[in-house]
Amino acid sequence: MTAKNQTPILQHLVDITGHRDHSRLELSVVSALRQLMDIRRVRKLEFSTHNGETSVRPMLLLDEGQVLAESEHAGPEHGEPLSAYPELLDCIEENTNSTQRIADDGVVTLWLPVRLDQKVVSCIEITNDKAYSAQTIEVIHGIIEVYRNYQSLLDYSERDALTGLFNRKTFDEQFARYARGSTPPGERRGADTQWLAVVDIDHFKQVNDRFGHVYGDEVLILVANLLRSSFRANDRIFRFGGEEFVVLLRSADLDSARSIFERFRQNIEEYDFPQVGRVTVSVGFTGTSQGAPVEILGHADQALYYAKQHGRNQVCFYEELMSSGALQVADVAHNDVELF
């Protein structure tokens, strides 16, 4: 490859490593693949585990040369079984960096797993109408390897070590930016409201006291897995520390948001936690269209506090509590939780 041919690749590598946001990182990789290889379709496959079964949720990033909005092209809500991707399953089990399938019509699908701490956390799936040359395969591998390495660096700084969810620092950065009206490239803010929920495991101290911190940590990990499987690929889930989590739910009307949070609460209630048995959660949520980030998070926290004070194991909506008089302005004025 000549120096002239290397120049566009180097420019794309500079762009890829110039981001500190996962969405922008992914889209810069997609742009590089589109411009350098004229690839037809790129999907990111996200993995979640529930009851020992691994599910795959595809998120379409590029289709027919067009970069797509993730909120409009997320995959099935509950995902597909990993067994529906036999070549990818074999690739993961054999710990190889890629695998491909050539269909009868000549369409080629290439899978490139992304690992963190030797665990596959996602996969880049590339589809094209014709076979790739050896040189193209080499370039694709190089770009994806840069993406893997750089994403690992971002993950170490952005994710909670125990659960693998985004951490508090990442929430502060992402939500403050989102509340100012900034959205990831390729994603538009729809007419539907965005929602923020605070989730707290009920009586979690009793779990640690009765069963020990090892089982307590296992409960946290399992709750994190249930969070992943209960929400969509384009929603954002964070662990705030201890037994508290935050969910940023994208583009849903009120009825849908309430239904999604209620379904998650039920998923927790019905799950059989090893040794511990039954665990429940309380949820407080609010809309994000009005107020500063600190106020929005405070409203969700007050709805959560109300749920905890009135029986636990329920979902409470801040605006509804205020309009019904269940919460008063005086009740929320003394919120002393350190939010940012």
Which mean pLDDT values do the consecutive 10-residue runs of the chain (340 residues) have? 52 64 74 77 81 78 70 56 91 91 91 81 87 84 82 79 90 73 43 84 96 95 93 86 93 92 96 95 93 91 96 96 84 44
Report residue 89 as tokens.
């399953």
pLDDT at 2: 42
Catalytic residues: 243
Q: How many CB atoms lie within 10 A of CB 216?
A: 20
Element (H, E) at 25: helix 22-37
Start-to-end CA distance of the chain, whole Å, equals 50
Cα 261 from Cα 281, distance rounded (Å): 11
Cα 311 from Cα 262, distance rounded (Å): 15
Report residue 317 as tokens.
């909506």
pLDDT at 71: 42
pLDDT at 183: 45
Q: Answer whether 68's CB lies under 8 Å from 62's CB.
A: yes
Cα 177 from Cα 147, distance rounded (Å): 23
Phi-psi region of 150 (alpha: psi -120 to 50; beta: other; left: phi over 0): alpha
